[in-house]
Amino acid sequence: MSETSANVVAIYPGSFDPITTGHLDVIERGSRLCDRLIVSILRNEAKAPLFTVEERMEMLSEVTDRFPNVEVDCFHGLLADYALRRGARVIIRGIRAISDYEYELQMALMNRRLQPQLETIFLLAGEQYSFISSKLVKEIISLGGNIAGLVPPTVEKCLRARLKEVD
């Protein structure tokens, strides 16, 4: 970004339970589109995540530390309001399939309705990541499958440790 351009702050929200290589791909590519990218975990008490918000923040911080303009945060409530509080005008979302797009389009339009200055950028998943989801990763590892390459190695260690605790 040139010194004369406005400081572009973007938010990449999600549950990241756990973070996958697909998420990391969106973070890497998204970080090149803005001056500051806030990767933020939604605090959603209605869901029963495998990892606490604090554990997910720690994992995210560890795997994103190579990106100098990326920070990790968490929020609750409306994403549109959170974006405004953080000075962000861009929301980044990853799209793996048409089914993702239908849901994400609805969310993007609602966020724009709530905060008209917000823009949503959809990043298409790279082919090698288009089938990866946190839910699928958790299912595979819980059934004894190999998840190498689907999550960062440090996240795989955390998953294996957590599953031993559950057994």
- pLDDT for 7 beyond 80: yes
Catalytic residue, chosen from 56, 93, 134, 138, is 134
Q: Which residues lie closer than 8 Å to 112 by C-beta, 6 or more apart? A: 118, 119, 120
| Structure confidence at residue 99 (pLDDT) | 85
155 vs 167: which has the higher pLDDT: 155
Q: Out of 43, 96, 112, 162, which one is annotated catalytic?
A: 96
Active site residue 47: yes
Terminal CA-to-CA distance of the chain, rounded, Å? 49
- Could you confirm whether 134 is annotated as catalytic? yes
The answer to whether residue 142 is catalytic is no
Give the pLDDT of residue 46: 77
Burial of 119 (0-12, 13-18, 19+ CB in 10 A): middle
CA separation for the pair 74, 138 (Å, rounded): 22
pLDDT category of residue 161 using cuts at 50, 70 and 90: very high
Q: Which two tokens mark 77? A: 């409530």
Confidence of residue 4 (pLDDT cuts 50, 70, 90): very low
Whole-number average pLDDT of the chain: 93
Q: Which CATH class is domain 9-166?
A: alpha beta
Tens-place pLDDT, residues 57-114 = 999 999 999 999 999 999 999 999 999 999 999 999 999 988 889 999 999 999 999 9
